[in-house]
Structures are given as C-alpha cells and as structure tokens.
Structure 1
C-alpha cells in the first residue's frame, strides 16, 4: 500500500509506539490523527510532531467507551475527510501473579486491549470500505506468541487480538480492507517504565522508532504480520511450538527474579 496522502488514525498516539508511528507515517507523507485520553499529553505530542514538520490532529477520546469510539471516528472524518488506515495501538498492562491482580484490573485490560479495538474496528469498517484500499493494524505483543509467566491476562488479550486480526483478514479478503498484526517485543516506552525486567531476564528493549519503521515497511509490503525480536525471538517461537516443556524449564529458572522485576509493572 502506498502511504502518501493516506488518512491514518492511531489510537494511543500521544506516546510510545503510537507517537513514533505518527512521526514515521507523517514523514512518509500520510495525514495523521492521534487519539488519547489525556489532552495535555496529546498537545505535547502534536507540538513534538510539528517540530518535524508533521501536522497531526489530536482527538481526546477513550476508545474503551462507545462515546469515545464515536468521537474518534467523527473527529477523524472532520479533520481528514475519511479513514484509510486504522491503527489499534492503545493498550494497558498489569503484570504480576494472577491471584494478586484485582478483578477491576483484569476487566480494564480486557476492555482496553481487546474489546475496544474489536468494537472500534467494527464501527470503522464502513469508512474503511469507502477508501477502496484500506488497512487495519492491530498492535499486539510478542507475549501473544509466547506466554510469559506473570502476564497471564495480558497474554490472553493480546493473543485474542492477534486471532481477531487473522480471522478478520480472511473475512475481508478481496474486499479492499487488509488486516496486519504487529508483535512488538520489549520496547522503550512509558508503558514499560514500571517494569524492572532487563536484558538479564530477556527484556532487551528496542526504541519505539524501530518498531514504527518496521510497521511502515509492513504497510508498504502489505504484510500479514510484523514480528520484532529478530532471530532470538524466532528461535523462542519455534521452541515454544516444538518443545514447550523446555521453555517452561527456562522460565522456571528465572521465575523468582522475574516475579520481583515485574510485580509493579502496570499501565492502565
């Protein structure tokens, strides 16, 4: 897909991967609208983008609510004239032992990470069909491919988002709307600030700009998926498929350290 003059909506676009993607797509000639719940952060993001000569439209909306989803699409149409690419990037995380996680935290994670992108995509489909050449991009997680201990709920919702995208891609085959799923690894974003897991535990963080550049490349190629983590991640995915007990043992060897490192990891 060409990117020039494409009308793009990025949820959770005020920071992290969303903001980096807004920069990358804006630099490639796309017209961008970014959404978020906090007006001040969106204003800062728009100012940051303007420094690179990118004009972005800010939409203050909570996409986990029906009103927020309607606001997102109505404002995007008003600002851009339509939607060609929808990026479901907004998300939250709560790590730690499942029995230490509250029901409220589990429900928020489900609402933001899974229900919101499904319902926003459903509502956006008529607009996307009008494009003639549209794309839905779902930002999942590497944890959707390899279930990590202490991320049970997060793994569930991100794996659900990934299978939603796969099924929808096939449902929309040859109908002018393509669906791509992105599987970032550990990324240096505000969402990771409360995690103490580092390279010694396998969390080697890459810059959000690297993930954004890979997504842009995937858009151009019409890829089905973008998986970050290189050869090391590919080997882990293969091991998880062929000998999951070996990966169980590997995680078992670092379980106590990992539990301590991620017990306060939350961004909801």
Structure 2
C-alpha cells in the first residue's frame, strides 16, 4: 500500500504504539484521526502531531461502549471524508491470577481488546469498501501467540483478535481490503508503566517507535503479520508449538518473580 494521502483512523492514538503510528504514518503523508478516552492526552498528542506537520483530528470516545464506537466512526468519517485504513490499537490490561481478577476487569479487557475492534471493523467496512484500496491493522500482542502466566484473559483477547484478523483477511480476499496483524512484545508505553517485568526475567522492552517502523514496512509490503522480538521470539514460538512442556518449565521457574513483577500492571 502507498500510504501517502491515505485517510487513517487510529484508536488509542494519544500515546504509546498508537501515537508512534500516527507520527510515522503522518510523516508518510497520511491524514490521521486519533481516538481515545482522555481529552487532555488527546489534546497533547494532537498538538505534538500538528507541530510536526501531521494533519490530525482528535476524537474523544470510549470504544468500550456502543455509543463510543458510533461516535468514533462518525467523527472520523466526517473529519477525514472517508476511510482507507482502520488501526485497531486501543486496549487495556489487568495482570494477576485469574481468581484475583474481578469480573468487571475481565469483561473490560474482553470488551475493549476484542469486542470493540470486531464491531468497529464491521461498522467501518462500508467506508473501507468505498476506498477500493483499504486496510485493517489489528494490534495484537506477543501474548496472542504465547500465553504467559498471570495474563490469561488478556492473552485470550489478543489471541482472539489475531484469529479474527486472519479470518477476515481470507474473508475479504480480492475485495480491496487487506488485513494485517501486529504482535508487539514488551513495549515502552504508558500501558506498561505498572509492570516491573524487565531483563532480569529475560524480557527486554523496545520503544513504540520500533513497533511503528516495523508496522509501516509491513503496510507498504502488503504483509500478513508483524512479529516483534527477533530470533528469540521466533524460537519461543517454535518451542511453544513443538515442545510446550519445556516452555512450561521455564515459566514455572520464573513464576514467583513474575507474579511480583506484574502485580501492579493495570491499565483499564
């Protein structure tokens, strides 16, 4: 896909990977709309983007509600005059043991990380069809490929959105709408501020700009997926498929320290 002049909606675009994508796509000449729940964060992000020369519209809405999704799509279409690319990036997480996770927190993760992007994509399809050269980008997670302890619901939602994207790519094949799945690893974003996971557990974080750069390259190449983490992540994926018991033992060894590191990881 040629990104120049494309009309792009990025959900969760006020910070982290969403904002990094807004900068990177805008630098390629795209017209951007960013959505989010926090007006002040959106104001700050929009000011930064405008200062860098990126044409941007901001939309305050909660994608966890039907009204918020309708508002997001309606205002994006009005601001952009249509839509060529939908980036499903907004998400939330609550780490910890399942039995210690409130039902409301479980439902919030499923609603925002899985249901919202599915319903937003469904609602956006008519506009994307009108484009004739359209794209849906789903920001999943490395945990959508490899389930980690203390992230059971989050991993389920991210695996769900990944399979949704794969199925939709095949459903929309030949109809002018491509679908790209992105699997970031641990990334330096506000969403990760409550997590103490780091190199001592064998988990290195990368900047959001690195995820954005890899995603841009995949968009331009019409790729199917982006998997961050390099060779180490590729080896873990292969091990998870071919010898999951070995990976189980690795996680068992690190479980006490991991439980402590993620106990404050909440962003809902």
Runs ≥4 in structure 1, deviation > 4 angstroms? none
Partner of 1:144: 144
Partner of 1:201: 201
TM superposition shift of 1:55? 2.0
Partner of 1:55: 55
Structure 2 Cα separation of the partners of residues 235 and 195 of structure 1? 24
| Secondary structure of 1:130 counterpart | helix
Partner of 2:242: 242
Alignment of 1:1-268 (within 5 A): 1-268=1-268
TM-score where L is the length of structure 1: 0.99
CA RMSD of aligned residues (A): 0.6
Residues 224-256 of structure 1: CA deviation (Å, up to 9, x unaligned): 100000000000000001100000001111110
TM superposition shift of 1:68? 1.1
Bigger shift: residues 14-23 or 72-81: 72-81
TM superposition shift of 1:32? 0.3
Structure 2 Cα separation of the partners of residues 226 and 128 of structure 1? 22
Please, which runs of 5 or more residues in structure 2 have no aligned partner? none
TM superposition shift of 1:61? 1.0
TM superposition shift of 1:203? 2.2
Aligned length: 268
Structure 1 Cα separation of the partners of residues 51 and 201 of structure 2? 37
Structure 2 Cα separation of the partners of residues 111 and 154 of structure 1? 11
| Secondary structure of 2:44 counterpart | helix
| Secondary structure of 2:63 counterpart | coil
Structure 2 Cα separation of the partners of residues 163 and 205 of structure 1? 25
Structure 1 Cα separation of the partners of residues 15 and 158 of structure 2? 19
TM-score where L is the length of structure 2: 0.99
| Secondary structure of 2:178 counterpart | strand
TM superposition shift of 1:48? 1.0
